[in-house]
Amino acid sequence: MKLVTQRVHMNKCNCRETRQITLDRDFNVPDARPDALSVMKEQGKVQIEEARMIDGKASVKGTLEFQILYAVDGSLPVSEMRGSIPIEEMISLPCAGKEDELTVHAVIDDIRSELINSRKVGLKAIITLEVSADTICDGEGAVDVEDAEGVLCKKKTLDISRLVFTGKDTLRIRDEWKLPGTKDSIGQILYSDFTLGEINTRVGENELLVDGQANLFVIYLSDSEDPEMNFYENTFPIEGTIGCSGCDPDMVAQVTTQIHSCDIEIKEDEDGESRILDAELVLGFGIKVYGQDQIEWLTDFYSTTNKCVPVFEDSYFENLIVQNKSRTRISGRIQADDDRLPLQIWNVSGELRIDRKIQKENGIQVEGVIDVSVLYLTEDTRVPLVSIKDSLPFSQFVEAEGLDENCNTWLSGSIEQMSASITGDKEFEIKAVATLELIAFEKIEEPIICDFTSEEIDWKEKSREPGMIGYVVQAGEELWDIAKQFFTTTEEIMSINQMENDEIKEGDILLILRLHLC
């Protein structure tokens, strides 16, 4: 007699912790940059460089890379400065092992800068680090017994998610645009900004297909004797594939995306004018691809000819119960600067922040805000550009049938579209489409059969026992348990007792006829 086993490649989340950190640092304006008059706009991104386990804690290292646009007290209207702040955190993960794979997801909850003096700027950021420790493991259990006469098997069908592919990769996108005739040619780029818009991914044959768009915004000085400040914005189409060996279109991907690096260059057109922008964007992807299986596990077995005792061990599985992308429209109004009349909106951007997640029946109620930044032109010749910030609240229910507190859930949000319009002398109307993406796995802990022991039955001893007995059903017993105890079958018990089905209850009296004594 031999067990037939099956192996399942799985991803097990052993531990997940969240830590909010505050970074506060002062920076001098670089010598090559002009004096600052006022801070207009700032942005940042977190790059995680290393994450590893040390004595039950996750050591996370990285940087906050920032960019500040500021008004200039001089001949130039605006300028920018860039820099970085190192991140080093130790986060306790008591349930994680040394060999676990660490995944760090960083969200900038707030980033603000202030002018200390004309040559110094202070930057403060609040960042949330979510660290998960996963084990990539193989679960193996019995699915059948072969080469065994007189063996009865009990099985259970489980829906499980197996990990097919995991990895990190980058996608390099390049594009160029020619400025429209209404725009001046470019003499000098003062500020440039890339932001991600809608990003869609789906699994193909041995590949991950990516499509979506990023947004490009540039402030520049014209190429003329009397340079004037101007701006250009456009969408950056994203399309490409990433190799994912062993995957097929029926599988489900869990993907995180961020801008890894970006570069922009000025080129001349056919007339020799600097009217072409050549941009390169490198996106970083964290990828996990899951396939769905339905496996019939062997949960118990016995023989009517000898004593077989299964050996059990606890095993862990996950089953995808929901992957849902929910969109919500958000709108509101924010006030402009009281002292400066807006003439034209140059740029609107925002960050989605999730503040609360309330689990309800068949879903999660999500509450948060969109932090909005509007950059606009004013009639003030000394400070022609002004940036204002405000927040718009939102509330959205994300459907997730079957979700409970024991599930592993990942919820992320992004802004797909955003626009602004001037509705009054000092008021802007903001419209946005936000996306909330939820993926949830049911945690399944099952004892599976990994081995068995076997010994011969002493039939001489058994022959001295009655061939037929009356048995009183005990609490929690199934007909299978009774048949196994007396080396018979459920069908035999049902036949002798003229039962229509195998349902029994505590206190029932059954006649038991041992097969080998009849």
Q: How many CB atoms lie within 10 A of CB 247?
A: 22
User: What is d(CA 504, CA 493) in angstroms, rounded to the nearest whole number?
Assistant: 11
**pLDDT, greater one: 362 or 173:** 173
Q: 379, 380, 348, 352: which is closest to 366 by C-alpha?
A: 352
- Determine the 3-state secondary structure of 405 from DSSP: coil
Contact present, 374 and 422 (Cβ < 8 Å): no
Calculate what percentage of the chain has a pLDDT beyond 90.
Answer: 63
Summarised one tens digit per residue, pLDDT across range 262-314 is: 999 999 999 999 999 999 999 999 999 999 999 899 999 988 888 888 998 88
Confidence of residue 518 (pLDDT cuts 50, 70, 90): very low
User: Which tokens go with 360?
Assistant: 């309800």
Radius of gyration (C-alpha) of the chain in whole angstroms: 33
**pLDDT, greater one: 339 or 392:** 392
Contact present, 411 and 130 (Cβ < 8 Å): no
Summarised one tens digit per residue, pLDDT across range 416-472 is: 899 999 987 789 999 999 999 999 999 888 888 888 888 887 767 766 777 788 999
Q: What share of the chain is helix, strand, coil (3-state, %, to 5)?
A: 5, 75, 20
User: What is d(CA 283, CA 279) in angstroms, rounded to the nearest whole number?
Assistant: 13
The residue type found at 103 is T
Q: Taking residues 465-487, what's their average pLDDT?
A: 89
User: What is d(CA 284, CA 199) in angstroms, rounded to the nearest whole number?
Assistant: 12
Residue with tokens 């080093």: 88
The one-character DSSP state at 30 is P
User: What is d(CA 509, CA 506) in angstroms, rounded to the nearest whole number?
Assistant: 9
Q: Taking residues 364-390, what's their average pLDDT?
A: 90
Instruction: Judge whether residue 337 has pLDDT over 70.
Output: yes
Question: Looking at residue 515, what is its pLDDT?
Answer: 55
The residue type found at 124 is K
Q: 345, 343, 310: which is closest to 1 by C-alpha?
A: 310
Summarised one tens digit per residue, pLDDT across range 179-228 is: 998 999 999 999 998 999 889 999 999 999 999 999 999 999 998 888 88
Summarised one tens digit per residue, pLDDT across range 338-360 is: 778 889 999 999 999 999 999 88
Summarised one tens digit per residue, pLDDT across range 317-329 is: 889 999 999 999 9
Contact present, 101 and 135 (Cβ < 8 Å): yes
HEC secondary structure over 245-279:
CCCCCCCEEEEEEEEEEEEEEEEECCCCCEEEEEE
Q: Taking residues 223-251, what's their average pLDDT?
A: 92
Summarised one tens digit per residue, pLDDT across range 496-515 is: 999 999 999 999 999 998 65
Question: Looking at residue 514, what is its pLDDT?
Answer: 66
